[in-house]
Structure 1
Amino acid sequence: MRLALGLLATAALAACSPGGQRQAAAPQARLTSARLSVAQLQKLAGGADPAALGLAQGPAPINPLPAPGSVQATGDRAEQLNAGRPFAGLPIQPMRPFVLKTDAPDQARAVHCLAQAVYYEAAREPLKGQQAVAQVVLNRVRHPAYPKSVCGVVYQGASLPTGCQFTFTCNGALRWRPEGDLFARAEGVAKKALAGYVDKDVGPATHYHAAYVAPYWAPTLIKMTQVGQHIFYRWTGAWGEPAAFTGRYAGREAELTPAVLSSKAPTRAELAPEPRKVTLAVAGGEARTYQVADPGAAPADGARLPGALYAARRKPTPDEIQRINASLAAVEARIDGKPATAKVAQDISSSAHSGEAGAS
Structure 2
Amino acid sequence: MAWLGLTPGWERLDLSNPPRLDLTAPDAAAQVEEARLINALRPISRAPLAEMPGFRLAGETEDARRALTCLTQAVYYEAAREPELGQAAVAQVILNRLRHPGYPKSVCGVVYQGSARATGCQFTFTCDGSLSRAPDPALWANAGAVARRALSGHVVREVGAATHYHADYVAPYWAPTLVKLTQIGAHIFYRWTGPSGERGAFSGRYAGGEAFLTPAILGGVDPRTQAGLDAIAPPPPRTVTLALAGETRTYTVSEPDAAGSPALPAPGQLSPARRRPTAEEIRRINSALAAMERGETAPATESGVQP
> For this structure pair, what is the TM-score category when the shorter chain's length is used for normalisation?
0.5 to 0.7
1:162-194 CA distance string (max 9 Å, x none): 110000000011111111110110000000000
SS in 1 for 2:176: helix
Does the 8 Å CA contact 2:161/2:197 hold for their aligned counterparts?
A: yes
Q: 1:102 to 1:259 in 2, by over 3 A?
A: farther
Question: Structure 2 vs 1, CA of residues 242 and 74 (structure 1 numbering), >3 Å: closer, same or farther?
Answer: farther
Q: Is the 1:94–1:199 contact (alpha carbons within 8 Å) kept by the matching residues of 2?
A: no
Q: Which amino acid aligns with 2:74?
A: A
Query: What is the aligned partner in structure 2 of residue 232 from structure 1?
Result: 189
The AA in structure 2 aligned to 1:129 is G
Name the CA distance, whole Å, in 1 between partners of 2:37 and 2:119.
25
Higher relative contact order (CA 8 A, sep 6+): 1
Choose the corresponding residue for 1:149, options 79, 103, 106.
106
1:158 to 108, 115, 135: 115
Question: How far apart, CA to CA, are the structure 1 residues paired with 2:31 and 2:121?
Answer: 19
User: Are the equivalent residues in 2 in contact too, given 1:74–1:214 (CA < 8 A)?
Assistant: no
Task: State the one-letter code of the partner of 1:238.
Answer: P
CA distance in 2, matches of 1:148, 1:180: 29
Q: TM-score, normalised by structure 2?
A: 0.63
Is residue 2:107 matched to residue 1:105?
no
1:207-245 deviations in whole A, cap 9, x for unaligned? 001111101000000001111111100000000001100
1:55-66 matched pairs, under 5 angstroms: none
Greater CA drift, 138-147 or 101-110: 101-110
Structure 2 counterpart of 1:26, one-letter code: A
* 1:189-268 to 2 correspondences below 5 Å: 189-267=146-224
- SS of residue paired to 1:213: coil
SS of residue paired to 2:183 = strand
Which residue of 2 is the match for residue 85 of structure 1? 42
Q: In the superposition, relative to structure 1, how do residues 104 and 159 fare at CA in structure 2: closer, same or farther (>3 Å)? A: same
Q: Identity percentage over the alignment?
A: 59
What residue is the counterpart of 2:80 in the other structure?
A: 123
188 and 101 in structure 1: CA distance in 2 versus 1, 3 angstrom threshold:
closer
Alignment gaps of 5+ in structure 2: 1-25, 229-307
For residues 99 and 221 of structure 1, the distance between their equivalents in structure 2, rounded to whole angstroms, comes to 28
Q: Within 2, Cα distance between the matches of 1:240 and 1:106?
A: 28
Whole-Å Cα distance in 1 between the matches of residues 50 and 82 of structure 2? 23
Aligned-residue RMSD, C-alpha: 2.0
Query: Which 5+ residue runs of structure 1 have no aligned equivalent?
Result: 1-23, 28-72, 272-360
- Structure 1 position 267, deviation (Å): 2.5
* Distance in 1, Cα, partners of 2:28 & 2:112: 26
2:28 alignment partner, one of 23, 26, 35: 26
* Segment of structure 1 superposing worse, 242-251 or 254-263: 254-263
**CA distance, structure 2, for counterparts of residue 270 and residue 210 of structure 1:** 22
Q: Distance in 2 between matches of 1:103 and 1:178?
A: 24
SS of the residue corresponding to residue 215 of structure 1 reads: coil
- Give runs of ≥4 in structure 1 deviating > 2 Å: 24-27, 267-271
Query: How far is 1:257 from its partner?
Result: 1.6
Tell me how many residue pairs correspond in the alignment.
203
Aligned to 1:177: 134
Distance 1:74 1:131 in 2: 28
- In structure 2, distance between residues paired with 1:144 and 1:112: 23
Q: Give the SS at the match of 1:201.
A: helix
> Aligned partner of 2:151: which letter?
L
**Distance (whole Å) between structure 2 residues aligned to residue 161 and residue 259 of structure 1:** 15
Contact 2:174 2:225 in 1 (8 A): no
CA contact 1:102–1:251 (8 Å) conserved in 2: no
Q: Distance in 1 between matches of 2:69 and 2:31?
A: 30
Whole-Å separation in 1 of the counterparts to 2:169 and 2:46 = 21
Alignment of 1:306-317 (within 5 A): none
* Counterparts in 2 of 1:217 and 1:201: CA distance versus 1, 3 Å: same
Matched with 1:95 is 52
Secondary structure of 2:33's counterpart equals helix
Distance 1:188 1:97 in 2: 16
> What amino acid is aligned across from residue 247 of structure 1 in structure 2?
G
Native 8 Å contact 1:224 1:234 kept in 2: yes
SS of the residue corresponding to residue 238 of structure 1 reads: helix
The whole-number CA distance in structure 2 between the counterparts of 1:213 and 1:90 is 25
In the TM superposition, what is the alpha-carbon distance from 1:26 to its structure 2 partner? 2.5
